[in-house]
Amino acid sequence: MKLLETLATLGPGRRAPVTVVEMVLQAEPGEASRLATIVNQLRDDLLLKLTSLGLEPDQERWRAIPARPEGMARLAGFACQTALALQRKAGHTVEFEYFLEDKDPLTKRQRFRFIFEHNDPLTGELAGDLAMRIISESCSDLKWTAEFHDATEPLDSSIEAMLVPARGLLHPRMFST
């Protein structure tokens, strides 16, 4: 997966009634088609990995992800729920997630927008980056290059490096959903 852009909103906007991180991604050649075949295995393997890291995704929403119509929509669900779980571990109150697919107006290639709530922009961006790293470590078919954290550090250390400052940035929910 290639990250094209990351945007963290500072208030409600056109895509959400809450503050969100929007990660715009593009699948590398062949990734999207492989994803459809491995998504059910990823669901089970990823949940075990999250549990081993002390992360707890919303179980009801997690169980609903495999019913999404295509592999990329399911990956978005896993990524967003993982990013939300990372933020909740820091004490943040976050729950909203959404997925959009569109075409790049210049290249005409498909783009995928993974959209999830944040209480703090930097924490949200780090959580999204770490979520994609966790997923790529659970699925050898997906490649991810970290943008916001040091991927040479062990995963536990990278997560803790996000959590420590995030715990000091707790804000009451500014907007109701």
Q: Going residue by residue through the chain (177 aa), what tens digit of pLDDT does each one get?
A: 888 899 999 999 888 999 999 999 988 777 767 777 767 778 778 999 999 999 999 999 999 998 888 888 888 999 999 999 999 999 999 999 999 998 888 888 888 999 999 999 999 999 999 999 999 888 877 778 777 777 788 999 999 999 988 988 765 555 454
| Cβ contact 1:132 at 8 Å | yes
Expressed in percent and rounded to 5, the helix, strand and coil fractions of the chain are 45, 15, 40
The closest of 157, 139, 145 to 36, measured between CA atoms, is: 139
Cα(37)–Cα(74) distance, integer angstroms:
11
The structure's pTM equals 0.90
Give the closest residue to 169 by CA, choosing from 57, 82, 91.
91
Classified as helix, coil or strand, 126 is helix
100 and 117 Cβ atoms separated by less than 8 Å: no
Q: Do the Cβ atoms of 71 and 93 come closer than 8 Å?
A: no
For residues 114 and 79, the answer to whether their CB atoms sit within 8 Å is: yes
